[in-house]
Amino acid sequence: MPYSTISYTTKDHVAAITLNRPEAGNRLNLELAQELAEVCRRINRDEAVYVVILSGAGDKAFCEGGEVEKSVKFCSAAVAAIEKPVIAAINGDALGPGLELALSCDIRLAADKARLGFPEVAKGLIPAEGGTQRLPRIVGRGKALEMILTAETITASEALEIGLVSKIVPRKELLAEAEALARDIAAKGPIAIRFIKEAVNKGLDLTLEQGLRLEADLYFLLHTTADRTEGITAFLEKRKPKFKGE
């Protein structure tokens, strides 16, 4: 299916979504929101996709914001609902709704010149789709409040220091780095990959006891899969496993 505001490709169990409005700073609008939501549903239906990379077209912006408030919520919710791990390759500025989109991903890599921030309060607004909730879970309450209340824009180096991104890469090397990480993850058991994401993300909203129970349930479910048998067999035979997601 052709898309107008995003590009979508798949290769070797890795899907790549690129926000494709570079002339507009890859800002979110209603058309992009609808296409992004459709491709996210498509990814969840596609058993051949194990890992996803989300990035922006061009050299300047990952996503500089949104044009319609409804579309902003649509986008972040769609990405957060992807059941497979999502890597944000933040190739440029991620501001306001753009940063919320990055926060909806599971792992964040940033180009060395990228800037990140929530400018909403300077306009009398607050982050509208998870910024006030996801940011403190990642960087801590104090730093999150400082960033949001001051509308501070931080550099990629500062984002790395506070744990907002896990790695900084020169812009020209960013996608290659994200692809290498995605391939490394995709080489593992796809069912285990999904279960790990579920255990970690859901566990953050549970008590430790509840989280341990969820982890145990998922662990025992894995024992019923062919992939678990293949993993053990490959280990004993000293070869690479051939997982099928079954």
Higher pLDDT residue, 68 or 13?
A: 13
Q: How far apart are CA 11 and CA 102, in angstroms?
A: 22
Would you tell me how many other CB atoms lie within 10 Å of the CB of residue 65? 21
Helix or strand (DSSP H, E) at 123 = none
Q: How far apart are CA 211 and CA 176, in angstroms?
A: 35
Higher pLDDT residue, 224 or 79?
A: 79
Question: What integer pLDDT is reported at residue 169 of this predicted model?
Answer: 96
Longest dimension (CA), the chain: 62
The dihedral sign for the CA sequence 214, 218, 221, 223: negative
Q: How far apart are CA 204 and CA 68, in angstroms?
A: 30
Question: What integer pLDDT is reported at residue 50 of this predicted model?
Answer: 97
- The yes or no reply on domain 190-236 and CATH 3.40.50.2300 is no
pLDDT, the chain, mean: 93
Question: What integer pLDDT is reported at residue 70 of this predicted model?
Answer: 61
CA distance to 34, 40, 178, 210, 244, per residue, from 183 (Å): 28, 19, 9, 32, 15
pLDDT in tens, 177-223: 999 999 999 999 899 999 999 999 999 999 999 999 999 999 999 88
Strand order in the sheet with 51-56: 6-11, 14-19, 51-56, 86-90, 107-111, 167-169
The stretch 106-112 carries a mean pLDDT of: 98
pLDDT of 171 higher than 90: yes
Q: Which of 35, 100, 129, 215 is catalytic?
A: 100
The dihedral sign for the CA sequence 41, 47, 53, 56: negative
Question: What integer pLDDT is reported at residue 79 of this predicted model?
Answer: 97
The stretch 217-234 carries a mean pLDDT of: 84
Any catalytic annotation for residue 120? yes
Higher pLDDT residue, 227 or 164?
A: 164
Any catalytic annotation for residue 100? yes
| CATH superfamily to which 6-186 belongs | 2-enoyl-CoA Hydratase; Chain A, domain 1 (3.90.226.10)
Residues whose CB falls within 8 Å of the CB of residue 57, separated by 6 or more in sequence, listed in order: 7, 18, 19, 20, 21, 22, 26
What is the band of 72 on the pLDDT scale with cuts at 50, 70, 90?
Answer: low
Q: Where are the domains of the chain?
A: 6-186, 190-236
Both tokens of 246, joined, read 């079954």
The dihedral sign for the CA sequence 132, 133, 139, 145: positive
pLDDT of 225 higher than 90: no
pLDDT of 22 higher than 70: yes
The stretch 222-238 carries a mean pLDDT of: 80
Question: What integer pLDDT is reported at residue 66 of this predicted model?
Answer: 86
pLDDT in tens, 142-151: 999 999 999 9
pLDDT of 69 higher than 70: no
Q: Which of 35, 64, 120, 129 is catalytic?
A: 120
Give the predicted TM-score (pTM) of the model.
0.93
Task: State percent of the chain over pLDDT 70.
Answer: 97
Question: What integer pLDDT is reported at residue 117 of this predicted model?
Answer: 97
Task: State percent of the chain over pLDDT 90.
Answer: 82
